[in-house]
């Protein structure tokens, strides 16, 4: 097996006890290092099934119900000698494993959710906030089509498939999770589950945080015959064992609890001195009553917690890791609040090097943590606003048109982004009052000609700004067709409009011309070919 990458599989095997040999054969056929398994149907009396696996470390749930059970299988030859930490769901719906593979820390999660019970996912979200570290990978059967128009065929009418969607999207938002297969296949229809009466759906997913998408090499749905009503989802990642940060600020760890005030002052002063030196300007950190008007402590705290699932020491432009911010958040948050408040109030004061990046792979970049925190807060304001104004319908009648960004670099005219954001400010309720468009202009990178903004992967603002642009293109499309009352369905990776009349291909071409980096396709004509 290749030593520079790891291969994974997530698969609902629909039982394991009677076909363990076939399951292992399938896993080894695809040369997988790790397998997330769902619906094992393994109870307390059946756990000896895993004792037959000589080459695999197995971690699994034990549950009395025959309808659930999850497991994670890890090849023993890639496990380090460090301790393995686990968190298991008492109902057998998820298991989380924290371990070191080939020198890199991972948090691996296998999930199986029932269509009508959101409680396990809510518990998992709370657990991961404090448990997850390193590279987070979540694979499993979530029993929902995230996009009702793309992720199921027209014969699928099970309304229960949509009950969990808000809960799954809440989990995704909390940790900036990306549906990797959809990200790599923006205009593709393919399914993982085949049910009775020719019903098909994509219910099995791989999620990773936005910052970790850079390490994903491939993600495919297997088309080969297997002993289950679900197809395995296969994915490969590049091992992340290099580019470790060694420049974290040195903070004394010998202070007694009675010296906590001095300890906090030491941390904050070192951070402030380091930042002023690297930004080449003195920062206004005056504390007064108005300092927390635009940015609340809770805003910054939640942003740090959501980013902290990736709190390994990836090298960043300023050499200060997310782990440092997580470890000393109590000392840094007040200063960060004041700093961000001042930027929102006077965007002209944004340091020139504030959005400095390291290009790690293709169009993927690593940002400084100060930037990520502010970008995360602003992205959540905009994301919550778009979610509130999105449609929840999933009726099948009418003509459906898909709008999705093409793969590759995203260059968006700043004039278009300005127009979209100002339009959102006119809606009721409007965009968050603290969202400053002028500050956003400073945060986003410019193209070489200066007319465009670069939407780079790794920035929390990129996915939500892409959604915003897609909504604008879709609404302009409906307006040009005199279909203002038609429905716009907004997903994280695409937007679909449903109209009652037919439209010509020439109309689609006009929509493509407005933003050439966007796909504009009839949903019913999409193929199942993977990129």
Most confident of the ranges 161-170, 229-238, 399-408: 229-238
C-alpha 435/C-alpha 294 separation (Å) is 9
Q: Is the pLDDT of residue 256 over 70?
A: no
- What whole-number percentage of the chain has pLDDT above 70? 89
Predicted local distance difference test score (pLDDT) of residue 392: 62
Token pair 């979530």 is at which residue? Answer: 142
C-alpha angle 341/347/349, rounded to 5°? Answer: 90
Most confident of the ranges 115-119, 394-398, 521-525: 521-525
Q: Is the pLDDT of residue 253 over 90?
A: no
Closest C-alpha among 245, 233, 235 to residue 191: 233
Q: What is the pLDDT of residues 408-429, one digit of tens each?
A: 778 899 999 999 999 999 998 9
Q: Is the pLDDT of residue 2 over 50?
A: no
Domains of the chain with bracketed CATH:
5-238 (3.60.10.10), 258-379 (no CATH)
pTM for the whole structure: 0.89
User: Tokens representing 474?
Assistant: 């879709």
C-alpha angle 231/233/236, rounded to 5°? Answer: 155
Closest C-alpha among 232, 150, 223, 141 to residue 188: 150
C-alpha 94/C-alpha 392 separation (Å) is 27
Most confident of the ranges 76-80, 201-205, 302-306, 513-517: 201-205
Q: Are the CB atoms for 70 and 111 separated by under 8 Å?
A: yes
Predicted local distance difference test score (pLDDT) of residue 43: 76
- Average the pLDDT over 52-65 and give the result: 83
DSSP of 229-269 = SB--EEEEEE---S-B---PPP------GGGHHHHHHHHHH
- Average the pLDDT over 200-204 and give the result: 93
Predicted local distance difference test score (pLDDT) of residue 260: 59
Q: Are the CB atoms for 109 and 61 separated by under 8 Å?
A: no
């Amino acid at each position: 097996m290749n030593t520079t990458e790891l291969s994974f599989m997530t698969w609902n095997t629909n039982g394991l006890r009677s076909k363990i040999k076939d399951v292992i054969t399938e896993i080894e056929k695809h040369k997988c290092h790790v397998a997330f398994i769902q619906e094992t149907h393994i109870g307390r009396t059946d756990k000896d099934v895993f004792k037959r696996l000589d080459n695999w470390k197995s971690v699994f749930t034990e549950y009395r119900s025959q309808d659930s059970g999850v497991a994670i299988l890890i090849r023993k030859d890639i496990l380090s000698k460090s301790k393995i930490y686990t968190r298991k769901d008492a109902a057998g719906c998820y298991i989380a494993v924290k371990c070191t593979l080939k020198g890199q820390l991972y948090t691996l999660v296998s999930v199986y959710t029932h269509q009508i019970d959101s409680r396990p996912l809510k518990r998992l979200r709370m657990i991961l906030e404090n448990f997850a570290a390193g590279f987070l990978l979540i694979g499993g059967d979530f029993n929902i089509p995230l996009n009702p128009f793309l992720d199921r065929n027209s014969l699928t009418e099970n309304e229960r498939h949509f009950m969990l969607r808000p809960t799954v999207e809440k989990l995704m938002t909390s940790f900036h999770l990306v549906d990797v297969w959809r990200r790599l296949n923006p205009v593709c229809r393919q399914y993982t589950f085949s049910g009775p009466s020719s019903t098909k759906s994509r219910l099995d997913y791989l999620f990773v945080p936005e910052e970790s998408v850079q390490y994903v090499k491939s993600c495919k749905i297997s088309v080969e015959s297997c002993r289950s009503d679900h197809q395995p989802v296969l994915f490969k990642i590049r091992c992340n064992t290099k580019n470790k940060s060694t420049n974290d600020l040195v903070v004394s760890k010998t202070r007694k609890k009675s010296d906590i005030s001095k300890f906090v002052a030491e941390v904050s002063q070192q951070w402030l001195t380091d930042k002023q030196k690297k930004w080449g300007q003195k920062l206004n950190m005056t504390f007064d009553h108005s300092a927390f008007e635009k940015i609340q402590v809770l805003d910054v705290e939640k942003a740090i917690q959501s980013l902290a699932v990736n709190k390994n020491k990836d090298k960043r432009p300023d050499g200060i890791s997310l782990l440092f911010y997580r470890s000393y958040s109590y000392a840094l948050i007040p200063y960060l609040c004041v700093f961000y408040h001042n930027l929102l109030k006077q965007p002209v004061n944004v340091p020139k090097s504030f959005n400095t990046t390291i290009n790690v792979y293709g169009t993927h970049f690593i940002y400084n943590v100060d930037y990520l925190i502010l970008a995360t807060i602003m992205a959540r304001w905009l994301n919550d606003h778009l979610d509130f104004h999105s449609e929840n319908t999933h009726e099948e009648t009418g003509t459906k048109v898909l709008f999705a960004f093409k793969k590759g670099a995203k260059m968006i005219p700043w004039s278009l982004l300005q127009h979209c954001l100002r339009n959102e400010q006119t809606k009721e309720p409007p965009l968050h009052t603290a969202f400053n468009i002028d500050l956003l202009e400073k945060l986003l990178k410019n193209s070489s000609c200066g007319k465009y903004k670069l939407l780079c992967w790794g920035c929390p603002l990129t996915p939500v700004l892409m959604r915003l642009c897609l909504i604008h293109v879709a609404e302009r499309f409906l307006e040009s067709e005199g279909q203002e009352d038609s429905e716009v369905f907004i997903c994280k990776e695409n937007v679909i409009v449903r109209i009652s009349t037919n439209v010509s291909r020439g109309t689609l071409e006009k929509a493509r011309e407005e933003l050439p980096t966007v796909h504009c396709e009839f949903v019913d004509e999409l193929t199942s070919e993977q990129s």
